[in-house]
């Protein structure tokens, strides 16, 4: 069972490591990925702009969820990242469930993911019931918008 900690700027190096592991394949696939290859300074700013919750397993950081409150009960998930070697083990599911339990006021959660990432699409739609609400081009990548409401 993971232990969760709210990130602060001293966690920037740990966060860069998680993001780079989780998004390396996207960077190779698309030739770009805003979550991959961030500098420490960029990640420190990101921690200030988007609160982050880090999941630890036996003291080892294995995943992170970042978010932004966009109004009362409305949250945008900027990133849900799990170390590559930990993917497929339920860490992302546990992180999103933890986020929802820590924000019981949520009534709408939105996020984006690449249109051709079937694994992510199934994760959000089948496991959590998100609906696809639109798509847009983001550089070289077409992304889908997702929303979960209650």
Model confidence pLDDT, tens digit, residues 116-140: 889 899 999 999 999 999 999 877 7
Q: Is the pLDDT of residue 81 over 70?
A: yes
* pLDDT tens track for 83-105: 999 998 999 999 999 999 999 99
Strand order in the sheet with 3-6: 3-6, 52-57, 60-71, 74-82, 108-114, 141-149, 131-138
Q: Is the pLDDT of residue 65 over 90?
A: yes
Q: Is the pLDDT of residue 28 over 90?
A: no
Give the distance, in angstroms, between the CA of residue 47 and the centroid of all CA atoms in the same chain: 13
Report the alpha-carbon distance of residue 70 to residue 89 in Å, rounded.
30
Band of pLDDT at residue 29, cut at 50, 70 and 90: low
Q: Is the pLDDT of residue 80 over 90?
A: yes
| pTM to 2 decimal places | 0.90
- Reference 90, options 55, 38, 40, 125; nearest CA is 55
Which residues partner with 74 through β-bridges?
Answer: 71, 108
């Amino acid at each position: 069972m993971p232990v969760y900690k709210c990130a602060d700027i001293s966690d920037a190096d740990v966060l860069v490591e998680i993001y780079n592991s989780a998004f390396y394949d996207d960077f190779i696939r698309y030739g770009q990925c805003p979550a991959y290859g961030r500098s420490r300074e960029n990640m420190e700013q990101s921690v200030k702009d988007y609160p982050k919750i880090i999941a630890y397993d036996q003291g080892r950081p294995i995943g992170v969820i970042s978010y932004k409150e966009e109004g009362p009960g409305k949250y945008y998930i900027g990133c849900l990242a799990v170390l590559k070697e930990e993917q497929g083990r339920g860490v992302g599911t546990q992180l999103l469930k933890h986020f929802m339990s820590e924000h019981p006021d949520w009534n709408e959660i939105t996020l984006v993911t690449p249109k051709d990432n079937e694994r992510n699409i199934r994760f959000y739609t089948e496991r959590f019931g998100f609906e696809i609400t639109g798509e847009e081009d983001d550089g070289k990548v077409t992304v889908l918008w997702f929303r979960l409401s209650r």
